[in-house]
């Protein structure tokens, strides 16, 4: 039996490995269009590779934005513990960090790829680099093989598509798998950039690089309904507002902000509580106390004790809009002025009208519809012998190692199922002739 795996990222490497381990007599060919495997893995977790999470596998499901239940059989077949075990046995020692995030102890994401590559070689998987698959050949609802960029045909009894999504196209993920799925008559849901920065409708370039730590962010839709709320960190980045909280908020807003008919007409409001540990009354009392003992200090100077300097300037601009002059003596400020300052501290707002693009997005939301795929095997319902794994599927998650675990688990299940499925009469006679 010949099993062709298209795409050598996390999902593809794992699919090839599990297929070969399941049936060592099969010929497993891993086709990667780049000159190396796992180009994306290299840049994950800021180059340190947060490849899974140590929490209980049951607690993974709430971390998936779309179709968490589809992933149940894959996560059960190959859990975070199985993945860590495979890495350790393959010579990649692992280390757990804040929030259960698991990284290679080396501090380098390439240790993940090195470990998998060694295992692939040891098992005898054939790796072909610079091998771009152009088309998947199918006949009478059954896979036949793949056509490569140079026009050559590779006959295969099973094809596993693990070509990734659309994010960071420079790593090789250019959405080819969606085309293969459409050619096979499968539904592909709309794709959106996710885990990316949010774009406010005002220029925030002056705040670029500023980090707001220990803040609370809530995001509301046009109707004022809360769609996201959490505590943590934001960072102003070129083009918008990033940092962990904004990235997570993008997961639940991207389809609306980037959806058809959405764009500039659709928006969310972003509410930042800069002092979540203090109530409005506590803040009012503090301002009254601090301002009255501030001597000749202006409001501007007095605020510097409460906020980072660059944010103070933006803050004062907003206060000016309310007729409050930052040059006035803090000690002379009215209760109304102090109330306005407190309301800004507790609810510093932006209107969000967009997100970063696929160029900067960590993950793609949307993809091959899970309705088309058997979750117990990863095989497509419509074409026998055609399997899908990894980010090409309509599955995405928050940060924390859950996206890579999904790629590894679905890859594992696809490989194992592809190798387990007995050859049909048709395939057997085709193999005998060739």
Ligand X SMILES: Cc1cc2nc3c(=O)[nH]c(=O)nc-3n(C[C@H](O)[C@H](O)[C@H](O)COP(=O)(O)OP(=O)(O)OC[C@H]3O[C@@H](n4cnc5c(N)ncnc54)[C@H](O)[C@@H]3O)c2cc1C
| Interacting residues toward ligand X by CB under 6 A | 6-12, 31-34, 39-41, 43-45, 50, 132-133, 162-164, 167-168, 172-173, 176, 362-363, 390-391, 401-404, 407
**Nearest distance in Å: CB 13, ligand X:** 8
Q: How many helices (H) and strands (E) does the chain have?
A: 12, 21
Q: What is the DSSP string of 196-220?
A: --EEESS--GGGTT-EEEEEEEEEE
CB 251 within 8 A of CB 396: yes
Q: How far apart are CA 396 and CA 66, in angstroms?
A: 6
Q: Which is nearer to ligand X, 15 or 272 (CB)?
A: 15
What dihedral do alpha carbons 134, 139, 141, 147 form, nearest 10°? -10
Distance, CA of 109 to CA of 100 (rounded, Å): 17
To the nearest whole angstrom, how small is the minimum distance from the Cβ of residue 28 to ligand X? Answer: 15
Nearer to ligand X, 257 or 363 (CB): 363
Residue 84 or 299 with smaller CB distance to ligand X:
84
Q: Quote the least distance from Cβ 284 to ligand X, whole Å.
A: 42
- Kindly give, in sequence order, each residue whose CB lies less than 8 Å from that of residue 341, ignoring residues fewer than 6 positions away: 287, 299, 303, 319
Q: Which CB, 78 or 268, lies closer to ligand X?
A: 78
Query: Residues 358-378, buried b or exposed e (16+ Cβ, 10 A)?
Result: bebbbbbbbbbbbebbebebb
DSSP 280-344: HHHHHHHHHHHHHTSTT-BHHHHHTTTS-HHHHHHHHHHHHHTT--TTSBGGG--HHHHHHHHHH
Local structure of residue 373 (DSSP, 8 states): B
Q: Which is nearer to ligand X, 26 or 364 (CB)?
A: 364
CB of 162 to ligand X, least distance (A): 5
- The DSSP line for 387-423 is EE-GGGBS-EE-SSSHHHHHHHHHHHHHHHHHHHSPP
Choice between 157 and 391, CB closer to ligand X: 391
- 377 or 403: CB nearest ligand X: 403
Q: What is the DSSP string of 146-200?
A: EEETTS-EEE-SEEEE----SSSGGGT--SHHHHHHHHTT--B---EEES--EEE
Q: Identify which of residues 10 and 319 has a Cβ nearer to ligand X in the complex.
A: 10
163 or 253: whose CB is closer to ligand X?
A: 163
Shortest Å, Cβ 406 to ligand X: 7
> Tokens standing for 155?
């006959």
State the minimum distance, in angstroms, from the CB of residue 112 to ligand X: 10
Instruction: Give the span between the Cα atoms of 143 and 154, in whole angstroms.
Output: 11
Tell me the closest approach of the beta carbon of residue 58 to ligand X, in angstroms. Answer: 18
Distance (Å, rounded) from C-alpha 93 to C-alpha 119?
15
How far apart are CB 43 and ligand X at their closest, in Å?
5
Q: Shortest Cβ distance from residue 328 to ligand X (Å)?
A: 46
Taking a C-beta distance cutoff of 8 angstroms, is the pair 183, 349 a contact?
no
Q: Which is nearer to ligand X, 93 or 289 (CB)?
A: 93
Output the CA–CA distances (angstroms, integers) from residue 266 to 191, 192, 220, 348, 354, in the order listed.
17, 15, 12, 20, 9
Closest separation in Å from C-beta 1 to ligand X = 21
């Amino acid at each position: 039996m010949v099993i062709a795996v298209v795409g050598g990222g996390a999902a593809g490497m794992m699919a090839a490995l599990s297929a070969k381990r399941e049936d060592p007599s099969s010929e497993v060919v891993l086709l990667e269009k780049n000159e190396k495997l796992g180009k994306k893995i290299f840049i994950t977790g800021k180059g340190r590779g947060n490849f899974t999470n140590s929490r209980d596998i049951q607690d993974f499901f709430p971390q998936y934005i779309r179709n968490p239940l589809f992933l149940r059989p894959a996560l059960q077949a190959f859990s975070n513990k199985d993945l860590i075990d495979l890495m350790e046995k393959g010579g990649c020692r692992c280390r757990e960090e804040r929030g259960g995030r698991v990284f290679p102890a080396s501090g380098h994401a390439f240790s993940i790829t090195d470990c998998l590559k060694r295992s692939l070689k040891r098992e005898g998987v054939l790796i072909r680099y610079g091998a771009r698959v152009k088309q998947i050949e199918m006949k009478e609802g059954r896979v036949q093989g793949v056509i490569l960029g140079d026009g050559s045909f590779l006959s295969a009894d099973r094809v596993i598509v693990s070509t990734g999504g659309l994010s960071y196209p420079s790593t090789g993920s250019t959405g080819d798998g969606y085309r293969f799925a459409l050619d096979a008559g499968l539904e592909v849901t709309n794709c959106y950039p996710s885990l990316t920065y949010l774009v406010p409708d005002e220029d925030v370039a002056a705040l670029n690089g500023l980090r707001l730590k220990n803040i609370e962010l809530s995001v509301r839709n046009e109707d004022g309904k809360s769609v996201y709320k959490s505590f943590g960190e934001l960072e102003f980045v070129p083009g918008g507002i990033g940092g962990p909280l904004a990235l997570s908020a993008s997961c639940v807003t991207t389809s609306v902000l980037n959806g058809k008919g959405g764009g500039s007409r659709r928006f969310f409001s972003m509410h930042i509580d800069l002092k979540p540990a203090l109530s409005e009354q506590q803040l009012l009392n503090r301002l009254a106390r601090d301002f009255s003992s501030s001597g000749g200090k202006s409001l501007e100077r007095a605020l510097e004790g409460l906020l980072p300097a660059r944010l103070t300037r933006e803050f004062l601009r907003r206060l000016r809009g309310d007729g409050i002059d930052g040059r006035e003596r803090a000690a002379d400020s009215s209760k109304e002025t102090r109330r306005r300052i407190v309301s800004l501290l507790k609810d510093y707002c932006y209107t969000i009208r967009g997100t970063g693009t696929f160029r900067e997005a960590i993950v793609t939301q949307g993809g091959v519809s899970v309705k088309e795929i058997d979750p117990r095997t990863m095989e497509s319902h419509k074409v026998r012998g055609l399997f899908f794994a990894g980010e090409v599927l309509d599955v995405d998650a928050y940060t924390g190692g859950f996206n890579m675990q999904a790629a590894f688990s679905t890859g594992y299940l696809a490989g194992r199922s592809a190798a387990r499925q007995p050859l049909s009469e048709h395939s057997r006679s085709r193999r005998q002739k060739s």
